[in-house]
């Protein structure tokens, strides 16, 4: 019999890719979940097994987790994630879930940055639950150049000065998650996988973009204070605590406390058996999405 998997966040950018990979490989059975009843109804009408799951309403957890073998947890980057993951983990214990896979962040154990620390706290709680666990630690996503700081007027913005980041492809990270969910706890229990393929600063990324897109692309290098001003302007809908933490990340990268964000730790080939996607390869694959209008 196939293991049954529940992917929290399967309607989001990351969860959707993971589900697509699980469907393509057909190694596990998938239970879909959403906090919107209309989405659940739509899936059920398509013949899919789907349940209501609202991370802010623990009373939805029991039915959603009943009979689930492996649980993938991805929450929003707000302080609410602490309560959400705590209560969901408790429910997973009650439901006899055998394996939790958590989508976390790329951080040293003694990190002092706020929302990174939230992830570390929930990972510690998951480990203490007694359920087999696997933690995924992706670094800076290449896809940020499409949906977070897209190329506009032949330039993109980075708020960490000339500091390097470790870039990784979201598709690679999703492949790791799908592989772990398929192979389960016998192979991946107690493992932390680090996903940081290539170290580049904004200017180095811009050089590769220019070569592959065949037009001059520049990085608009800004300082953390400018990001703080943007958040304080009221022109963004970013949650206030997350916004403060985002600025703090940029400052800590610049002052040396988080320079490890610019390092390479690439576990993709160890898990998937395939080479990681380089930044240049990724640009070629996404040329149509990256080309300036």
Q: What confidence score (pLDDT) does residue 40 get?
A: 97
Grade residue 147 by pLDDT with cuts at 50, 70 and 90.
confident
Q: Give the residue-averaged pLDDT of 86-105.
A: 98
pLDDT digits (tens, 9 = 90+) for 173-218: 999 999 999 999 999 999 999 999 999 999 999 999 999 999 999 9
Q: What is the pTM of this model?
A: 0.94
Q: Any bridge partners for residue 266, and if so which?
A: 195
Cα separation, 171 vs 169, in Å, equals 5
Q: 4-137+169-194+264-274, which class in CATH?
A: alpha beta
Whether the CB-CB separation of 270 and 250 falls below 8 Å is answered with no
Q: What confidence score (pLDDT) does residue 228 get?
A: 82
Domain ranges of the chain: 4-137+169-194+264-274
pLDDT digits (tens, 9 = 90+) for 18-66: 999 999 999 999 999 999 999 999 999 999 999 999 999 999 999 999 9
Continuous segment of H or E residues that includes residue 208? helix 202-213
Grade residue 235 by pLDDT with cuts at 50, 70 and 90.
low
> Residue 233: is its pLDDT beyond 80?
no
> Residue 293: is its pLDDT beyond 60?
no
> Residue 236: is its pLDDT beyond 70?
no
Q: Could you tell me how many helices (H) and strands (E) the chain has, helices first? A: 14, 13
DSSP class per residue in 214-261? TS--EEEE--HHHHHHHHHTT-----HHHHHHHHHHHHHHHHTTTGGG
Angle between helices 170-183 and 13-25 in degrees, nearest 10: 50
Whether the CB-CB separation of 83 and 54 falls below 8 Å is answered with no
């Amino acid at each position: 019999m196939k293991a049954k998997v529940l992917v929290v966040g399967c309607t989001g950018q990351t969860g959707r890719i993971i589900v697509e990979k699980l469907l393509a490989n057909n190694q596990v059975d998938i239970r879909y979940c959403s906090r919107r009843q209309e989405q659940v109804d739509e899936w059920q009408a398509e013949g899919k097994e789907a349940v209501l799951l609202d991370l802010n309403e623990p009373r939805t957890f029991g039915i959603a987790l009943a009979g689930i073998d492996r649980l993938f947890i991805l929450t929003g980057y707000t302080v609410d994630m602490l309560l959400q993951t705590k209560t969901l983990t408790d429910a997973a214990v009650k439901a006899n879930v055998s394996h939790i896979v958590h989508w976390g962040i790329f951080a040293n154990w003694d990190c002092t940055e706020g929302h990174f620390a939230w992830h570390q706290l929930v990972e510690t709680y998951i480990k203490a639950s007694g359920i087999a666990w696997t933690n995924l630690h992706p670094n800076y996503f290449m896809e940020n150049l499409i949906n977070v700081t897209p190329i506009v007027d032949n330039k993109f913005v980075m708020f960490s000065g000339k500091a390097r980041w470790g870039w990784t492809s979201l598709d690679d990270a999703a492949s790791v998650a799908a592989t772990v969910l398929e192979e389960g706890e016998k192979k991946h229990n107690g493992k932390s996988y680090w996903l940081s393929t290539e170290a580049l600063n904004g200017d180095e990324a811009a050089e590769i973009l220019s070569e592959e897109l065949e037009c001059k692309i520049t990085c608009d290098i800004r300082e953390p204070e400018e990001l703080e001003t943007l958040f304080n302007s009221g022109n963004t809908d970013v949650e206030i605590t997350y916004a403060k933490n985002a600025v703090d990340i940029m400052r800590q990268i610049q002052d040396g406390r988080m320079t490890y964000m610019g390092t390479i730790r690439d576990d993709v080939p160890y898990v998937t058996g395939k080479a990681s996607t380089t930044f240049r390869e990724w640009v070629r694959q996404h040329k149509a999405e990256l080309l300036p209008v």
